[in-house]
Amino acid sequence: MADRLNGYRILILETREEAQFSRLLTEQGADVLQCPMFTIHDAPDPAPVEAWIGRCIERPFDDVVLMTGEGLRRLMKVVRRMGVEQEFIAALSNARKFARGPKPGKALREIGLEPQMTTEKPTSEGVAEMLSRLDLGGHRLGLQLYPDKDHSVLIGAIKAQGAEVDTVLPYVYDAQAADANIIAAIDEMAAGRIDAIALTNLGQVRRLIEVARARGCEDRLRDGLDRTPIASVGPAVSDELKSHGLRTDIYPAEDAFFMRPLISAMAAALGKNPPRTVARS
């Protein structure tokens, strides 16, 4: 099955799992153009993160909601620095654990734990809908957040169910550092030098539009996307594309919204046409 993407140039807009996605594509023979969307840093002030970890250990939460795999990995980095890894994992093991999509679940499995429930759609709305079916009255709920998102609606919905919410934000984005990469990727698509763009989370769509508008090149972005097959990992990404008047060309098998099924779908779709080698410099 190797070399199914031999000669095809694939643009990926990853951050947290960029290296893994790039490796999987390269194993299939793809020429991967990586465009980091953000630079990620630990929270500039570790004290609130350390305090949240301390509260989790001293008085374990009834429920823990993980919004991103990156968030748990960053928390574990602080936990290990504090020397309380066993205590923290023990506290998490006694809580009901809820994951916003498959990535937090994967991060949990890295430390020997499993989520009790995973959202059907990896969105804040999906988390709120999942939790609305549960009795949270009187519960203490630890909520791991992610940057550049207003979480007030989700927090309000959880509190309205009678839970006490304790939030933590373990990392931040440096968006400006990646703007030049995004503009270069837009130029490559507009020039017809990309065989497909692979999108694995809805934030990538928003970020593309945001940067293109800020830099006055939204028309060039849309022209590039018009001539470039768009591969979406799942419904949340496709819905976001649709909200911006964009389409989905390549989609994995139903209920298989992960990297490998996406790559298989790309190989099947792109294999119908030769790579755009003529257009490349």
Going residue by residue through the chain (281 aa), what tens digit of pLDDT does each one get?
456 899 899 999 876 556 678 888 998 999 999 988 777 889 999 999 999 999 999 999 999 999 999 999 999 999 999 999 999 999 999 999 999 988 899 999 999 999 999 998 778 899 999 999 999 999 999 999 998 788 999 999 999 999 999 999 999 987 676 788 899 999 999 999 999 999 988 889 999 999 999 999 999 999 999 999 999 988 989 999 999 999 999 999 877 667 888 999 999 999 888 887 544 44
Residue 199 · residue 241 · CB < 8 Å: yes
Domains located in the chain, CATH noted: 9-38+175-279 (3.40.50.10090), 42-172 (3.40.50.10090)
Q: Please tell me whether residue 60 adopts helix, strand or coil conformation.
A: coil
Within 8 A by CB and 6+ apart from 179, the residues are 211, 214, 215
d(Cα 278, Cα 260) in Å, to the nearest integer? 28
Residue 234 · residue 253 · CB < 8 Å: no
